[in-house]
Copies of this chain bind each other. A is one copy, B any other.
Amino acid sequence: MSETVEHAIQDEYGKDFAWCYGCGRLNEDGLHLRTGWNGEETMTFYEPRKEHTAIPGFVYGGLLASLVDCHGTGSASLALHRKNGHEPGSGEEPPRFVTGSLHVDFLKPTPQGKTLKAVGKVEEIHPKKFKVNVEVFAGDVKVANGEVVAVLMPSTFTS
Q: Does the CB pair B101–A104 fall under 8 Å?
A: yes
- By a CB distance below 8 angstroms, the chain B residues around A95 are none
* Chain B contacts for A19, CB-based, 8 A: 53, 55-56
List the number of copies, as a whole number: 2
Task: Please give the number of chain A residues whose Cβ is less than 8 angstroms from any Cβ of chain B in the complex.
Answer: 44
Closest Cβ–Cβ distance, residue A67 to chain B (whole Å): 8
> A104 contacts which chain B residues (CB < 8 A)?
65, 101-103
Q: Within the assembled complex, what's the spacing in Å between the Cα atoms of A17 and B54?
A: 8
How far, in whole Å, are A19 and B55 apart by their CA atoms in the complex?
6
Q: Mark A58-99, 1 if CB is under 8 A from B, else 0.
A: 101111011001100000000000000000000000001011
Max chain B Cβ within 10 angstroms of own Cβ: one of A21, A29, A69, A99: A21
Give the distance to chain B from A108, nearest Cβ to Cβ, in Å: 7
A28 / chain B contacts, CB cutoff of 8 Å? 51
Name the B residues within 8 Å of A21 (CB-CB): 51-54, 60, 62-63
In the complex, whether A139 has a CB less than 8 A from a CB of chain B is: no
A21 (CB) vs chain B CBs: closest residue: B60
Residues of A within 8 A of B (CB): 16-17, 19-22, 24, 27-30, 49, 51-58, 60-63, 65-66, 69-70, 96, 98-106, 108-109, 153, 156-158
